[in-house]
């Protein structure tokens, strides 16, 4: 079983999305369950509605899950497990507060406090936290990208598992949940390498003996501040392209640059991911987005611009020569159907051409249309194509008119005005 465990405390970052995509992909490869766990342990930071937003994003990317659950529903269970550790003398109560933590590590002063101490503290209403005892041996786990990862005891202190409110900390709750769910592989980012060791320590202290595989992905760096999924959508990138790009980043040996998630499930190997951090490259994503838009169903594409006509999808694809995102395509398609601006040096010619079109019969081919228009107007070619283009597309430049014509033909009267 694999899980995606997002924190509902902000917009989803592409690093998180990459974790989700890979978790889903590996679950499919291993034919194991894929579940979503909303890690809403921190009541202070949780943002109302973020959880449904997360689920909507996953749906857009077609990362289908088997189950979804909230950490907040299980807190009592994790508290019980923490108390269990206290009783087994694997954890201790600590009343040090913030004092000894003057940018130093935990002093270990309360190390021997046991559960009798707990009773006393409860009676006297003294604030306390519960800390798990630090490991006596190095924590070693297997990472599919990095091999055996060893964290020495010195890196892992006796860390807090229940805070002063009695709330399980994220690390503790996460470890407990993974254990209880039977998660077999955990994908996260390199920021959590040490957390993984802590969680493994927790699971070992709780007596969990199943082997868990881990992967810690390198981060995607960017000088851009909010590299969120939301932002990518706003820019007009489509899910298939985003998936393609995120899977391609740092991958060594893909059979082709352009692919879909189902295709990647056939050949993707975590071991072939580079351990080096990668830089987010908008230009590359634009290229990939363009390629996926080219492959998109024409009618589906047209609906994104408010049509239900395959011809408009085909028309939009002509503009992929100069546009790479939905947003840019929209900026090309919209002026075609919007009322034209006649102001400018070509105004007389445009007025003439408009009138001819409004009274013209339906003409099938652009060649015939061109000849008809040239005959009727008496214009020279040099004074003809520019105003015609402006009249038909609202733009000075664009794809060949003979390519555009077949798709806009049915809308000609509306367009040429």
Least Å distance, CB 26 to RNA, is 19
Q: Can you give the binding site for RNA, defined by CB under 7 A?
A: 7, 9, 39, 41-42, 45, 96-98, 101, 105-106, 127, 129, 146, 149, 152, 155, 157, 159-160, 163-164, 167, 169-171, 190-195, 218-219, 221, 248-253, 257, 274-279, 281, 283-284, 287, 321-322, 370, 381-382, 384-386, 389, 396-401
DSSP 8-state secondary structure symbol assigned to residue 73: G
| Distance (Å, whole) CA 201 – CA 152 | 12
For 14, 51, 202, the CA distances from 36, given in Å and listed in that order, are 17, 10, 22
Q: Residue 183: what are its φ and ψ, rounded to 5°?
A: -70, 130
Nearest residue (CB) to RNA, 34 versus 159? 159
In which element (H, E) is residue 373 found?
Answer: helix 366-377
CB 316 within 8 A of CB 302: yes
For 53, 210, 221, 258, 332, the CA distances from 251, given in Å and listed in that order, are 29, 30, 16, 13, 34
Nearest residue (CB) to RNA, 271 versus 300? 271
Least Å distance, CB 181 to RNA, is 16
Least Å distance, CB 308 to RNA, is 26
Nearest residue (CB) to RNA, 279 versus 297? 279
Which residues does 370 contact at the CB level (< 8 Å), separation at least 6? 402
In which element (H, E) is residue 214 found?
Answer: strand 213-217
Tokens of 292: 């996926």
DSSP strands (E only) in 102-205:
129-132, 139-143, 147-151, 160-162, 185-189
Least Å distance, CB 118 to RNA, is 15
Q: Helices then strands (H, E): number in the chain?
A: 18, 12
Least Å distance, CB 338 to RNA, is 19
Helix (H, G, I), strand (E, B) or coil at 149: strand
Nearest residue (CB) to RNA, 32 versus 291? 291
Nearest residue (CB) to RNA, 65 versus 370? 370
Least Å distance, CB 392 to RNA, is 11
CB 277 within 8 A of CB 218: yes
Which residues does 347 contact at the CB level (< 8 Å), separation at least 6? none
Least Å distance, CB 274 to RNA, is 4
Helix (H, G, I), strand (E, B) or coil at 183: coil
Nearest residue (CB) to RNA, 310 versus 374? 374
Least Å distance, CB 281 to RNA, is 3
Nearest residue (CB) to RNA, 266 versus 385? 385
Cα separation of the two ends of the chain:
60
Sign of CA dihedral 308, 314, 315, 316: positive
Place of tokens 């309360």: 110
DSSP 8-state secondary structure symbol assigned to residue 321: G
Nearest residue (CB) to RNA, 171 versus 184? 171
| Distance (Å, whole) CA 414 – CA 417 | 6
Least Å distance, CB 285 to RNA, is 9
Nearest residue (CB) to RNA, 2 versus 38? 38
Which residues does 279 contact at the CB level (< 8 Å), separation at least 6? 220, 221, 222
Nearest residue (CB) to RNA, 170 versus 203? 170
Least Å distance, CB 146 to RNA, is 6
């Amino acid at each position: 079983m694999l899980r995606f465990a997002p924190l509902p405390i902000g917009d989803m970052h592409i690093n998180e999305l990459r974790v989700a995509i890979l978790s889903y992909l590996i679950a499919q490869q291993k034919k194991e369950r894929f579940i979503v766990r909303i890690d809403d342990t921190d009541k202070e930071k949780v943002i109302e509605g973020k959880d449904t937003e997360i689920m909507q994003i996953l749906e857009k990317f077609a990362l289908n899950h088997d189950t979804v659950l909230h950490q907040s529903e299980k807190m009592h269970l994790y508290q019980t497990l923490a108390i269990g550790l206290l009783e087994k003398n694997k954890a201790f109560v600590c009343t040090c507060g913030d004092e000894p933590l003057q940018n130093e590590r935990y002093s270990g002063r309360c190390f021997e406090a046991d559960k009798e101490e707990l009773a006393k503290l409860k009676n006297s209403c003294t604030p306390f936290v519960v800390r798990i005892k630090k490991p006596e041996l190095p924590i070693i786990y297997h990472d599919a990208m990095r091999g055996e990862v060893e964290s020495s005891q010195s890196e892992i202190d006796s860390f807090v598992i229940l805070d002063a409110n009695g709330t399980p900390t994220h690390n503790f709750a996460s470890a407990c949940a993974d254990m209880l769910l039977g998660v077999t592989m955990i994908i996260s980012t390199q920021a959590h390498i040490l957390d993984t060791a802590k969680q493994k320590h927790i699971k070992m202290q709780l007596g969990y003996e199943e082997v868990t595989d881990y992967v810690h992905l390198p981060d995607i760096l960017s000088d851009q501040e909010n590299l969120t999924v939301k932002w990518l959508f706003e820019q007009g990138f489509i899910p298939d392209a985003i998936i393609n790009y995120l899977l391609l980043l740092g991958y060594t040996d893909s059979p082709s640059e352009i692919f879909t998630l189902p295709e990647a499930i056939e050949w993707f190997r975590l071991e072939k991911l580079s351990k080096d951090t990668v830089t987010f490259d908008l230009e590359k994503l634009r290229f990939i987005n363009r390629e996926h838009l080219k492959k998109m169903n024409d009618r589906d594409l047209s609906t994104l611009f408010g049509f239900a006509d395959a011809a408009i999808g085909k028309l939009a694809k002509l503009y992929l020569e100069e546009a790479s995102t939905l947003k840019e395509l929209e900026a090309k398609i919209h002026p075609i159907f919007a009322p034209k601006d006649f102001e400018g040096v070509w105004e007389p010619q445009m007025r003439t051409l408009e009138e001819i079109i409004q009274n013209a019969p339906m003409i099938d081919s652009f060649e015939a249309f061109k000849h008809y228009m040239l005959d009727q107007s008496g214009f020279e070619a040099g004074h003809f194509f520019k105003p015609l283009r402006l009249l038909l597309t609202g733009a000075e430049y664009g794809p060949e008119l003979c390519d555009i014509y077949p798709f806009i033909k049915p809308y000609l009267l509306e367009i040429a005005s």
